[in-house]
Amino acid sequence: MKLSCLPEIAALLAANGQSFVEQWSPLPVQVIGDYYVLSRNRFNRWMRVLDDLDRGCVPADAELRYSSLGRLPGMRIVAEQVLVNEILTRVWSLLLVAQDRFRGENDTEALAANVFLGHQAVRRRAMDVFRSDDVLGLEHVLRIEHIRREAEMWSDILCAPLMKRYELWSYAHDAEQSREFYRQRVDRNALSPGSDAWGAMLSSMRESFSEVDGVGVLVHDDDRRLVGLMLGSFGGGSMLSSKSGVATAKERGR
């Protein structure tokens, strides 16, 4: 799976978000538990890598160590992984919290918020290490900052409808900007799969992340398993029809 597929998958989840929120059956306890364990494992792995990079050591992570011997430095690799995965984590966290709000329950909100805050901690750590790295070339610095800005913007665009419906603006990077995205796009049905606006939005998103598939930028096994868990939670995947683009996303991810 390519790293650039993750924002597109996040868009598909967001576009079908209301259907997920209103599902009759709650998510199985096993699914919630697997989500927490996989997210915790990923958090620990990223933190270990960032500690290694901060000390100027070769990362202990075997895949990252091998990749960093190629064209891209380890700091850029892990920064792109964290920033791009954050889009998917933010969308999924919002879906879990919105589902609780819709049901008037509190089954998953605490766990979802815990994972979400953990990812924010990793993101802050990654940006601190990145900005203190005095050996990264200008090209890599500019690229990481570009990915950060794009990830923040697209997260707020994708999440705006659910944040509006359930008053969850605290999950926005920039609540006021996200409200503005909502006002601009709500009448254009930008998150209606199959519409012209949807196609244009996906094309723009793909362009934003077209360069993250360079040599060495990996989608870890934890990420692949998390994607499978998320897609499988949409009524066995039936809600995500080929019309909405999930078939294309899967093909692109091979």
| Cα 227-42-251 angle, rounded to 5 deg | 25
d(CA 12, CA 217): 22
pLDDT at 99: 93
Overall average pLDDT of the 76-102 stretch:
93
Q: Could you report the per-residue pLDDT of 193-242, keeping only the tens digit for each? A: 777 778 888 888 888 887 775 544 567 788 899 999 999 998 644 445 43
Q: How confident is the model at residue 248 (pLDDT cuts 50, 70, 90)?
A: very low
pLDDT at 242: 39
Under 8 Å between Cβ of 171 and 94: yes
Under 8 Å between Cβ of 74 and 68: yes
pLDDT at 186: 55
pLDDT at 237: 44
Per-residue tokens: 212: 């993250």
Q: How confident is the model at residue 43 (pLDDT cuts 50, 70, 90)?
A: very high
Q: How many other β-carbons are positioned within 10 Å of the β-carbon of residue 214?
A: 14
pLDDT at 156: 93
Task: Return the DSSP state at 2.
Answer: -
Q: Could you report the per-residue pLDDT of 105-154, keeping only the tens digit for each? A: 888 999 999 999 999 999 999 999 988 887 788 888 888 899 999 999 99
Q: How confident is the model at residue 84 (pLDDT cuts 50, 70, 90)?
A: very high
pLDDT at 71: 55
Question: 96 vs 73, which has greater pLDDT?
Answer: 96
Please give, one letter per residue, the 3-state secondary structure of 133-196.
Answer: CCCCCHHHHHHHHHHHHHHHHHHHHHHHHHHHHHCCHHHCCCHHHHHHHHHHHHHHCCCCCCCH
Name the amino acid, one letter, at 74. Answer: G
Under 8 Å between Cβ of 119 and 86: yes
Under 8 Å between Cβ of 46 and 122: yes
Under 8 Å between Cβ of 101 and 127: no
pLDDT at 72: 65
Question: 43 vs 209, which has greater pLDDT?
Answer: 43
Per-residue tokens: 10: 């996040």
Overall average pLDDT of the 75-100 stretch:
93
Under 8 Å between Cβ of 77 and 68: yes
Overall average pLDDT of the 59-69 stretch:
55
> What are 140-147's contacts with CB under 8 Å, separation 24+?
140/72, 140/73, 140/75, 140/76, 143/76, 143/80, 143/211, 144/75, 144/76, 144/79, 144/80, 144/83, 147/79, 147/80, 147/83, 147/84, 147/209, 147/212
> Over 60: is that where the pLDDT of 52 sits?
yes
Q: Could you report the per-residue pLDDT of 153-185, keeping only the tens digit for each? A: 999 999 998 999 999 999 999 989 888 888 876
